[in-house]
Structure 1
Amino acid sequence: MAKVVLVTGVSRYLGGLYARRLSTDPSIERILGVDVVPPKHSIGRAEFVRADIRNPMIGRIMAQAGVDTVVHMNVIATPKDTGGRVTQKEINVIGTMQLLAACQKSESVSRLVVKSSAAVYGSSPRDPAMFTEDMNPKTLPRTGFGKDSVEVEGYVRGFSRRRPDVEITMLRLANVVGPSIHTAITDYFALPLVPVPLGFDARFQFVHEDDATAAMILATTGPPAGIVNVAGDGFLTVTQCTAIARRPVVPVPLQAAGVIGNIVRRSGLADFSSDQLTFLAFGRGLDTSRMRSVLEFEPHFTTRGAFEDYARHLRPAVPGVEGVGEVVSDAAGGTAAALSRVFDRIQP
């Protein structure tokens, strides 16, 4: 039973939301929220501790407080929020290594909960329809957050071998969306004109920010569950998402998507990596059987419901125009088909 909980990344949106929700549980005696900068939002009754998980000092904090449960929320998805890709990787990979080293030395830590990502499965045309937790990716993520998440999970597995007495739950969250969270995928669908890979209409799954937080709370206070996929029921395609978000689309050949992604990234409107662009072309599906049978969690929002709640808080791409997404997406579908036929003719 968790009594003294240490939460990393408490100054980030999802970490702060988690700390506030955990604060309502009377069985938790003390909550320590750790981050390098003070939070701008409420963290409930959590005590903020200014510390860098890349520094061995985190071990002394655990020992002094008698921490029994560590919740690692500080695996950062977007480099623009940290000052760049180098800092992002240091926090994600080096920070996780130092945190796990402190956990390994701790005599009081008995549970570790890690917020991971479905990005560890990568995305390719050879993927299965649904990834179970026991499956390996057909193509490993090569850059960015996905690659970091693979490394983080590798370090967690190594820790579990060295400390088999520590209960571990690792949640592989689908893309998190909601009215307040900002990620690469929410920034993408907020673009005034959404570039979509020509000839593709990938399937997506989403998890609402409230459901992601609730799943992390259950992983903290419930029985250990190992590795668990977390996603809302159902799927949405790229064109369905753009229609719901009321966004016009522009089809671009996949070969040129990297150039478009670089332009968008440099503009500061959204973060793009080559792996994210591949994801937009091929999508990903998660089997959530363990979420229900082992974690015993049932999301409140379906994939569609989560995305619709996010989209309700978006400004229209064209002020005063509703339904523009449906009209332009239909037109884009016809344009994409026509362009695809042209490309087929000119290919050797």
Structure 2
Amino acid sequence: MGKVVLVTGAARQLGGRFVRRIQRDPEVERVIAVDAVTPPHRLGSAEFIRTDIRQSAIARVLAEHAVDTVVHLAVTGGSSVAGGGSHSTVKETNVIGTMQLLGACQKSPTVRRLVVKSSTSVYGGTSRDPAVFTETTQPKSLPPAGFAKDAVEVEGYVRGFARRRPDVAVCVLRFANILGPFADSALAEYFSMPVMPTVLGYDPRLQFVHEDDVLDVLRLAAQEPRSGTLNSGTFNIAGDGVLLLSQCSRRLGRPTVPLLLPAVTWVGSALRAVGVTDFSPEQIRLLTHGRVVETTQMREVLGFEPMYTTTEAFADFARSRGTGLLPPERAARAVDRVAGLVNADLSNAELLNVEPAVEGAKR
């Protein structure tokens, strides 16, 4: 790993944990932690600099500290922004902040490695998309708004930077939904609701990555590559296997309320308005169509093997959330009963030669 590492987004939970983690690496001489707000957590021996990456001052930070490795963790959704913030502020930090940071890196003669935290949400999610996405898969429809759109724009700027500075090793990590005991994402908030609204007729496949694996792969990507590995390129990062949304509900002991898609959209707007959770249209698409990615490149090229499968990551998250309204056994019976009623309605419609109003679950 580089001797001087700069980490953006240090005031966020994940950024703070990563800052503390890399200080234990014997090859790291100094860690520079950067954010626009003061972190609510300890950063160990790291030097914290309060600066907004949307401003040109970030270039002075890189120059003054002779930074050679930049780990950009400030691209995130609104629910995980330390200190809150409007969606417009979050978008500016994601997109404008990344542009300023890349401009500073381009001018810096000392920067040799750049690691960017991205998301599998860049693939979007529609009924026309493939069952499994690879790093080269082009989405049928680009995300129209929200964090997913920000991530697409950020990756575009990063590719441009890589062309202009071919001497810098650039690694983009597309993470599946991050879960664990300390998860603070919009999806974690959704899974913490006492009753979970779902889209009637859909049971999406979901994929997770444990937050401890996130820290490990970030550290690996920021290191000098080992023999047989290449710590540059774009990689999907996810635990093995998938879980259906109904299986998640059972494991949490939280009942679901299947609603027609327009009703789910209305509920999402209401929840956002009262500040319960950031139930965005992007998340509704995920809970409708799901998203699964291929991780062969992660293992064979990057040389990373997650400690947690998707099921194990979710189980660790579920333990941290406590018991839901129903014991898992009762939740399972309730979900099965609702699913049976839906299937019966669909079967009756087919017998009457009537096209069902609800599309079947994407498998």
TM-score > 0.5, shorter chain as reference: yes
The separation in 2 between residues aligned to 1:80 and 1:177, in whole angstroms, is: 13
For structure 2, which runs of at least 5 residues remain unmatched after alignment?
226-230, 358-363
| Structure 1 residues 340 and 263, CA gap change in structure 2 (3 angstroms) | farther
Query: 1:255 Cα shift?
Result: 2.9
* SS of the residue 2:321 aligns to: coil
Instruction: Tell me, yes or no, if the aligned pair for 2:78 and 2:85 is still in contact at 8 Å.
Output: no
Partner of 1:218: 220
The separation in 1 between residues aligned to 2:285 and 2:278, in whole angstroms, is: 14
Partner of 1:146: 148
The separation in 1 between residues aligned to 2:256 and 2:286, in whole angstroms, is: 17
Q: Once the two structures are superposed, what CA deviation does each residue of 1:57-116 show, in whole Å capped at 9, x if it has no partner? A: 000010000000110000121257432211110110010010001001111101100000
The separation in 2 between residues aligned to 1:148 and 1:324, in whole angstroms, is: 40
The separation in 2 between residues aligned to 1:28 and 1:84, in whole angstroms, is: 35
* SS of the residue 2:142 aligns to: coil
Instruction: Tell me, yes or no, if the aligned pair for 1:225 and 1:294 is still in contact at 8 Å.
Output: no
The separation in 1 between residues aligned to 2:12 and 2:345, in whole angstroms, is: 42
Query: 1:199 Cα shift?
Result: 0.6
For structure 1, which runs of at least 5 residues remain unmatched after alignment?
none
- Does residue 332 in structure 1 map to residue 334 in structure 2? no
Query: 1:158 Cα shift?
Result: 0.8
Instruction: Tell me, yes or no, if the aligned pair for 1:244 and 1:311 is still in contact at 8 Å.
Output: yes
Query: 1:340 Cα shift?
Result: 4.8
The separation in 1 between residues aligned to 2:95 and 2:107, in whole angstroms, is: 19
| Structure 1 residues 238 and 222, CA gap change in structure 2 (3 angstroms) | farther
Query: 1:225 Cα shift?
Result: 2.6
Amino acid at match of 2:181: P
Instruction: Tell me, yes or no, if the aligned pair for 1:249 and 1:332 is still in contact at 8 Å.
Output: no
**Aligned length in residues:** 346
The separation in 1 between residues aligned to 2:79 and 2:146, in whole angstroms, is: 8
Matches of residues 24-173 of structure 1 in structure 2 within 5 Å? 24-79=24-79, 81=81, 82-173=84-175
2:303 to 296, 309, 328: 296
* SS of the residue 1:83 aligns to: coil
Bigger mean CA deviation after superposition, 251-260 or 106-115 = 251-260
Instruction: Tell me, yes or no, if the aligned pair for 2:207 and 2:242 is still in contact at 8 Å.
Output: yes
* SS of the residue 2:117 aligns to: strand
Instruction: Tell me, yes or no, if the aligned pair for 2:126 and 2:285 is still in contact at 8 Å.
Output: yes
Bigger mean CA deviation after superposition, 334-343 or 21-30 = 334-343
Query: 1:336 Cα shift?
Result: 3.0
Q: What is the percentage of aligned positions where both structures have the same residue?
A: 49
* SS of the residue 1:312 aligns to: helix
Bigger mean CA deviation after superposition, 8-17 or 218-227 = 218-227
The separation in 1 between residues aligned to 2:61 and 2:111, in whole angstroms, is: 12
Matches of residues 166-245 of structure 1 in structure 2 within 5 Å? 166-223=168-225, 224-245=231-252
Query: 1:261 Cα shift?
Result: 0.9
Query: 1:46 Cα shift?
Result: 1.4
Query: 1:345 Cα shift?
Result: 6.4
The separation in 1 between residues aligned to 2:345 and 2:21, in whole angstroms, is: 49
Amino acid at match of 1:209: E
| Structure 1 residues 254 and 43, CA gap change in structure 2 (3 angstroms) | same
Instruction: Tell me, yes or no, if the aligned pair for 2:68 and 2:113 is still in contact at 8 Å.
Output: yes
Bigger mean CA deviation after superposition, 72-81 or 237-246 = 72-81
Instruction: Tell me, yes or no, if the aligned pair for 2:251 and 2:328 is still in contact at 8 Å.
Output: no
| Structure 1 residues 339 and 188, CA gap change in structure 2 (3 angstroms) | farther
* SS of the residue 1:113 aligns to: strand
* SS of the residue 1:219 aligns to: helix
Instruction: Tell me, yes or no, if the aligned pair for 1:251 and 1:336 is still in contact at 8 Å.
Output: no
Partner of 2:313: 306
| Structure 1 residues 80 and 295, CA gap change in structure 2 (3 angstroms) | closer
The separation in 2 between residues aligned to 1:141 and 1:296, in whole angstroms, is: 30
The separation in 1 between residues aligned to 2:345 and 2:52, in whole angstroms, is: 51
The separation in 2 between residues aligned to 1:32 and 1:80, in whole angstroms, is: 21
Query: 1:231 Cα shift?
Result: 0.1
The separation in 2 between residues aligned to 1:262 and 1:342, in whole angstroms, is: 33
Bigger mean CA deviation after superposition, 127-136 or 80-89 = 80-89
The separation in 2 between residues aligned to 1:324 and 1:152, in whole angstroms, is: 44
Q: Once the two structures are superposed, what CA deviation does each residue of 1:130-176 show, in whole Å capped at 9, x if it has no partner? A: 11111111121111100000000000011111111111000000000
Q: CA RMSD in A?
A: 1.7
The separation in 2 between residues aligned to 1:222 and 1:195, in whole angstroms, is: 45
The separation in 1 between residues aligned to 2:141 and 2:191, in whole angstroms, is: 25
The separation in 1 between residues aligned to 2:103 and 2:14, in whole angstroms, is: 24
Matches of residues 242-281 of structure 1 in structure 2 within 5 Å? 242-281=249-288
Query: 1:301 Cα shift?
Result: 0.4
